[in-house]
Chain A
Amino acid sequence: MFSVGDRVRTRLRNPAGHTRLPRYLVGRSGRIDTVLGTLPFSDRRAAGVRSAKETAYTVRFAAEDVFGGDADPRGSICADLFESYLEASE
C-alpha cells in the first residue's frame, strides 16, 4: 500500500495482454497524488478473471521525468495505475 506523497517507480514490464500502464510510463518515477481505492483490475479481467480487484492510485509524473529535455518543464502527467505496476522509490 502507498500513501499520498510517496515516491514510486513503475516496474519494468512488457505483458502480452491488456494493461493500463502505457509504454511511455514504464520505468518512470512519480509521486502518489490520490489513493483511488480498490477497483476492478483490468489486466486480469481482460484475461477472463472477472472478480479480480486491486488498489489503484493516481500517480503524478513530472513531464521532464517522462520526456526529458523535450518536455515543458512546468508540465506534469497524471495516470491512474494499479498497485502491481508500482514499486517504492527514493
Chain B
Amino acid sequence: MSRIHDIGGMHGFGPLAIEPGEPPFHHEWEARVFAINRFLLRAGAYNLDEFRDALERMPPEEYLGASYYERWLHALESLVEERKLLDVLRR
C-alpha cells in the first residue's frame, strides 16, 4: 500500500483509452522485455511478487510518466542490477 501504483479510486486521470484491435505489443522492444522477464521468472532469478515490488519501487515522478512496458523495463533493470545477474554472464 501507499506507493505510487496504488491509485485505485483516485480521480483526475481521465477516461481509459480503449484501442480497438490492440496488438500485444506496440514496439519490438516491448516484446523483448516481456520475453526476458518471462525467462528470468522461469529461471528463478526472482519471483512474480519480487517483480511487482520492483515495479512499485519506481520513483513516483518516473512511474506516472512511464508506459506499461517502460515500467516493466525499469523493474527488470532494477532486479538485474540489484541481484548482479549480469555478473553470471561476464564470468
Contact = CB atoms under 8 A, between A and B. Distances in A.
Interface of A: 13-15, 17-19, 21-26, 40, 42-43, 45-48, 50, 66-67
Tell me if A's interface is mostly helix, strand, loop or mixed: loop
Contacts of B56: 18
B50 A46 contact: yes
Contacts, number: 41
A61 to B, nearest CB: 12
Given A18-B53, A18-B56, A42-B49, A13 B9 contact: no
Contacts of A13: 1
Contact of B9 (A17, A40, A45, A67): A67
A46 B1 contact: no
A50 B47 contact: yes
A26 B2 CA distance: 11
Contacts of B53: 17-18, 46-47
B32 interface: no
B49 to A, nearest CB: 4
A15 B50 contact: no
A40 B49 CA distance: 10
Interface centre among B2, B6, B49 (most CB of A within 10 A): B49
16 contacts: A13-B1, A14-B2, A22-B1, A23-B6, A23-B8, A23-B9, A24-B8, A24-B9, A40-B49, A42-B52, A45-B47, A46-B47, A46-B49, A46-B53, A66-B9, A67-B9
